[in-house]
Amino acid sequence: MVCRVTTFAFEGIEAKPVDVQVQISSGNPFFTIVGLPDKAVGESKERVRAAFSAIGLATPPKRITVNLAPADLPKEGSHYDLAIALAMLAAMGVIAPDALDGHAAVGELSLDGALGPTLGVLPAAMAAQAMDLRLICPEVCGPEAAWAGEGTLAVPSLIAMINHFAGRSSLPAPVAGELAPPQAVPDLADVKGQDGAKRVLEIAAAGGHNLLFCGPPGSGKSMLAQRLPGLLPPLSATELLEVSQIQSVAGMLERGKLSRQRPFRAPHHSASMAALVGGGIKARPGEVSLAHHGVLFLDELPEFPAQVLDSLRQPLEDGAVVISRANRHVRYPARFQLVAAMNPCRCGGGPGDGACRRGPACARQYQSRISGPFFDRIDLFFDTPPVTAIDLALPAPTEGTSEAATRVQQARDIQTDRFEKLGAEDGRRPINADAPTRHLTDIASPDEAANALLADAAAKLALSARAYHRVLKVARTIADLDGAGGVRRVHIAEALSYRRRPPEGETVSHARSLAH
């Protein structure tokens, strides 16, 4: 007799059903797990055997075969323990085999029979709901699984689960975890001076545009970038679910507590490619996926290895990362807003003692570490001037994050209404930065004077097709902040002012050639 129960294998944040089949047959005592298990899954038999012993059950001295179907799907992780134990209990007659009908299970067993925390419970619970199955998970993960809907069964231990199926006790339904209260964010009023930088930061927040601050040390680049999350609206219900699934797979959800604050990730410039875009032996999500629907801040941009930065080019365009392996492809969502900061040259390029002593060649050499195609994907470039003693002596600005966030929300509401009329597609966010190119004619068509200015600038600055469209998107965002219905010349002019200006001595044609 073969007893079955459903569990899940994870490919990215997608939970794929796995049929756990257990057969106990006559023969020499032997316990084997087949179906492409990794080492953690293979060790499950020892955890199951020890857990059975802890509750007074002996593993039958027979041939025990556990098959994880489909057999060609790689199985990784310790969350298969509970499903294997359940199917074995049914095969041993401890619980009725038909009691497992309509159930799925994920969970790691301890040697004493307790169930410990397990990664990926939220996507597993959502997949179980879609299949009309009731998910059995560890009690500690119950608040997380309950976000997927009713029907979750959260059990503290193996013996409690046996008693539940035997009718000797009943387990209460878990309650969904709390929404974490908003955390205090740095206020824009703390930044003195840099009015132009605050303006470009507001534009970036309103349209979701990628932004690069370039300026000498101490000019406030990092301070400004850290205040961007405070300008962004909270996550929508759909975005919250996507972000939480990634955090569940990464083991970042504590007791099912979700947060509507947008992620802000700031990896060090020594981060490897696998740490940034994801990968490793088990293809874990990287910083770009953990920043999904949030902000990825790269400080000291040229100090990142060139290969690591260029690996961001594809997710910046597609909003996803595909990690390829010999036998499978793992996809993680990665629609993030990139904000970066850099010094103009290795010497710093500041005034006084921080001034560069090597001239323009230093800036050209330092900035050449970043490829042209990467620069081409940044919408807004702003040179932050040094903050003077006079700026620091002035009183704090009266306008801070709350006032700017109100204008950003108004601009985003305009964009949401506009894209609802066009129809959402491809999981794109309803913001200008993600607007499909074919819709630019409808949403960002400039008037005659603005079109003439853009055409002239495109020829003189040798703008690529991507850069041309990004200028239009930025101009549309500026118009939204102004409450204007159409894109006018003044909007195009401001958008063009935020394009990258090559260092002195680097010609436009040379900068353009870097993009090929």
Q: What is the CATH number of the domain that holds 45?
A: 3.30.230.10
Per the listing, tokens 């409450």 go with 483
CA distance 167 to 163: 6
Q: Does residue 310 sit in the same domain as residue 430?
A: yes
pLDDT at residue 58, as a whole number: 92
Residues 91 and 139 both lie in one domain: yes
Structural domain includes residue 172: no
Q: Which residues make Cβ contacts (< 8 Å) with residue 130, sequence separation at least 6?
A: none
Among residues 107, 135, 166, the one where a domain terminates is: 166
Same domain, 245 and 150: no
Q: Are residues 148 and 288 in the same domain?
A: no
Is 182 within a domain?
A: no
Closest CA to 213 of 388, 381, 370, 386: 381
Report the pLDDT value the prediction gives residue 424, as an integer from 0 to 100.
55
Q: Are residues 155 and 217 in the same domain?
A: no
If asked whether residues 89 and 146 sit together in one domain, one would say: yes
Supply the pLDDT for residue 154: 95
Answer whether 134's CB lies under 8 Å from 25's CB: no
Does residue 221 lie within any of the structural domains? yes
- For residue 103, give the H/E element and its range: strand 103-105
**CATH number of the domain encompassing residue 254:** 3.40.50.300
Q: Is 2 helix (H, G, I), strand (E, B) or coil?
A: strand
**515 within a domain of the structure (yes/no):** no
What angle separates helix 81-92 from helix 44-54, to the nearest 10 degrees? 60
Sites in the chain below the pLDDT cut of 70: 326-327, 349-354, 424-427, 502-516
Q: How far apart are CA 268 and CA 193, in angstroms?
A: 27
What gap in Å lies between CA 252 and CA 120, rounded to an integer? Answer: 10
511, part of any domain:
no
Name beta bridge partners: 213: 341, 382
Distance CA(516)–CA(511), nearest Å, equals 10
Distance CA 31, CA 62 (A): 8
What pLDDT, on the 0 to 100 scale, is given for residue 510? 44
In a domain, 35, yes or no: yes
Residues 114 and 51 in one domain: yes
344 and 408 belong to one structural domain: yes
**Domain of 474, in residue numbers:** 188-498
Locate all alpha helices (DSSP H) within 154-268, ordered by sequence: 158-166, 195-207, 221-226, 228-231, 237-249
Give residues with Cβ within 8 angstroms of 166, minimum separation 6.
95
Total number of domains in the chain:
2
Distances (CA, A) of 40 to 33, 54, 108, 207, 252: 11, 21, 10, 44, 21
Same domain, 248 and 378: yes
Write the single-letter amino acid at 307.
Q
Residue 273 and residue 326 in one domain:
yes
The verdict on 162 and 242 lying in the same domain is no
Question: Looking at the chain, how many residues does it have?
Answer: 516
Query: Cα 376–378–379 angle (5° rounding)?
Result: 110
Q: How far is CA 459 from CA 377, 455, 463, in A?
A: 19, 6, 7
Residue 506 lies in a domain: no
Q: Is residue 173 part of a domain?
A: no
- Here the tokens at position 377 are 């994907």
Q: Which of 115, 132, 166 is the endpoint of a domain?
A: 166
* CB half-sphere exposure, 353, CA atoms < 13 A: 1
Q: Are 34 and 131 members of one domain? A: yes
pLDDT value at residue 129: 95
